[in-house]
Structure 1
Amino acid sequence: MQPNYRRCIACRQVARKETFWRVVRVYSSHQVQLDRGMGRSAYLCRNAECLKIAQKKNRLGRSLKAAIPEEIYQILKQRLPSE
């Protein structure tokens, strides 16, 4: 992979990291948050299908090695582009 390219944990698509949502497990506190912080990161496409797959198959939890709060999924659902 080229620098600044990442892979979606749901559909495995490779693209520039700006096209994905970033979910981070912060190193020091082990809290899961969106978009900022240093620690283990997982990337997810900005569409409903990938979000549904990630939630159903617990892809975020396995990638980050942490429990994902329901609030994270709710925030991501609100960020979905309106159709």
Structure 2
Amino acid sequence: MLPNHRRCISCRKVDHKSAFWRVVRVFSSHQVQLDQGMGRSVYLCPQESCLQAAQKKDRLGRSLKTAVPEEIYQTLWQRLTPSPGAAPKADLDQIYGAAKERQGMG
């Protein structure tokens, strides 16, 4: 696998880690949280089919080796369907590409 690439636990797609949601079981407290933290982590595509399969088959819980609170799933579903008044998110690939160019890597 290429550096900074990860695999979705649901569909098994490989892509840059910025293309996925990161779910972490924090090492010290064993709490599950989104995006940041040190500990066991899994990556999930921001797609309805991947989130639905991960929730139905408890793929997050099995991969993290702990129970995943329902609030985590609720937050992920909210990210998937933003509120009508919310501004659209910038494309992560464009952000990553621009950062690479600024660093002289592109």
Q: TM-score, normalised to structure 1's length?
A: 0.96
The runs of at least 4 aligned residues of structure 1 exceeding 6 Å deviation read none
- Specify every segment of 5 or more residues in structure 2 that has no aligned partner in the other structure, as ranges: 83-106
Aligned residue-pair number: 82
The separation in 2 between residues aligned to 1:42 and 1:66, in whole angstroms, is: 12
Partner of 2:25: 25
Partner of 1:59: 59
Higher relative contact order (Cα pairs below 8 Å, separated by 6+ residues) = 1
RMSD: 0.8
Provide the identity percentage: 71
Of Structure 1 and Structure 2, which has the larger fraction of its residues in helix? 2
Local SS of the residue matching 1:51: helix
Amino acid at match of 1:71: E
The separation in 2 between residues aligned to 1:31 and 1:81, in whole angstroms, is: 25
- Specify every segment of 5 or more residues in structure 1 that has no aligned partner in the other structure, as ranges: none
Of Structure 1 and Structure 2, which has the larger fraction of its residues in strand? 1
The separation in 1 between residues aligned to 2:32 and 2:2, in whole angstroms, is: 27
Partner of 2:89: none
